[in-house]
């Protein structure tokens, strides 16, 4: 079975600083990888996903993530964060083919002025 | 237009009651899901339906009964509510059953059992 580990439960940063949210996964077979964002009291929105091809994936709102197969990681990055990026970020994995998402426990990104 | 809409958004009810949460998607998708988010924000799949047929049931107590009258709707009925059922329930949908397809989530239904 696959699993996802988000190493940081909370990441505080100042506005305009760069940020990296870490995600590691475990699976014995090939997977798809996702990052979702959840703003307060709202549902989840897809930021980006890796299915195949280029290991650097660009998403919405200036976020990007890099798939590293050897390190089984899929870290999320943004070069300059805004106050409005304050939210919970979830990394998720699914097996290729028919499968549902397995989520990590989330990382709360707190951006302060 | 809300792509995946669920009602009610907030629900407070007593232990032992029966309640339903309704979900509708206007994206033309053929796969729908229910996810549960607990108080620690951990998200877990409960059910998955494809073309109105149950595909996945993830060891959910049989007090929870999903019903899909058509491809655009997936309702969740919960019998004999317990304190531990307090959570946020998210409905979601995707086109096709391939796991690489983007899943679109509703805004959630906050259930509090007292």
* CATH number for position A70: 2.60.40.10
Residues 16-75 of B with CB under 8 A from A: 33, 40-45, 48, 55-56, 58
* B103 falls within a domain: no
Tens of pLDDT, residues B14-62: 999 999 999 999 999 999 999 999 998 899 999 999 888 888 777 789 9
At residue B99, what are phi and psi to the nearest 5 degrees? -70, -10
* B106 falls within a domain: no
Q: Taking 70 as the threshold, does the pLDDT of residue B1 lie above it?
A: no
Q: Taking 80 as the threshold, does the pLDDT of residue B99 lie above it?
A: no
Q: Report the chain B residue with the minimal C-alpha distance to residue A40.
A: B107
Number of domains in chain B: 1
Domain of A47 in residue numbering reads as 3-112
Q: Taking 80 as the threshold, does the pLDDT of residue A90 lie above it?
A: yes
Q: Taking 80 as the threshold, does the pLDDT of residue A79 lie above it?
A: yes
Contacts of A106 in chain B (CB under 8 A): 41-43
Q: What is the mean pLDDT of residues B67-85?
A: 95
* B27 falls within a domain: yes
CB contact under 8 A, B105 and A51: no
Domain of B26 in residue numbering reads as 4-95
* B76 falls within a domain: yes
A98 interfacial to chain B (CB closer than 8 Å): yes
Q: What is the CATH number of the domain that holds B35?
A: 2.60.40.10
Number of domains in chain A: 1
* B101 falls within a domain: no
In DSSP notation, chain B reads --SEEEE-SEEEE-TT--EEEEEEE-S--SEEEEEEE-TT--EEEEEEEETTEEEEE-S--TTEEEEEEETTEEEEEE-S--GGG-EEEEEEEESSSBTTSPPEE---EEEEE-
Q: What percentage of chain A reaches a pLDDT higher than 90?
A: 80
């Amino acid at each position: 079975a696959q699993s996802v580990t988000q190493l940081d439960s909370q990441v505080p940063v100042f506005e305009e600083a760069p940020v990296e949210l870490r995600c590691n996964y475990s699976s014995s077979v090939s997977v798809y990888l996702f990052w979702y964002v959840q703003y307060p009291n709202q549902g989840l929105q897809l930021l980006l996903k890796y299915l195949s091809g280029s290991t650097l994936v660009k998403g919405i709102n200036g976020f990007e993530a890099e798939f590293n197969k050897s390190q089984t990681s899929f870290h999320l990055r943004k070069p300059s964060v805004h106050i409005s990026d304050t939210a919970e970020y979830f990394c998720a994995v699914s097996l290729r083919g028919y499968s549902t998402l397995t989520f990590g426990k989330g990382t709360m990104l707190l951006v302060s002025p | 237009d809300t792509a995946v809409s669920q009602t009610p958004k907030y629900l407070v009810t007593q232990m032992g009651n029966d309640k339903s949460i309704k979900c509708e998607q206007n994206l033309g998708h053929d796969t729908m899901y229910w996810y549960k988010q607990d108080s620690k924000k951990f998200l877990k799949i409960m059910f998955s339906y494809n073309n109105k047929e149950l595909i996945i049931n993830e060891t959910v107590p049989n007090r929870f009964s999903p019903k899909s009258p058509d491809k655009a709707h997936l309702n969740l009925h919960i019998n004999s509510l317990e304190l531990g059922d307090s959570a946020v329930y998210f409905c979601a949908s995707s086109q096709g059953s391939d796991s690489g397809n983007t899943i679109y989530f509703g805004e959630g239904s906050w259930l509090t059992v007292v």
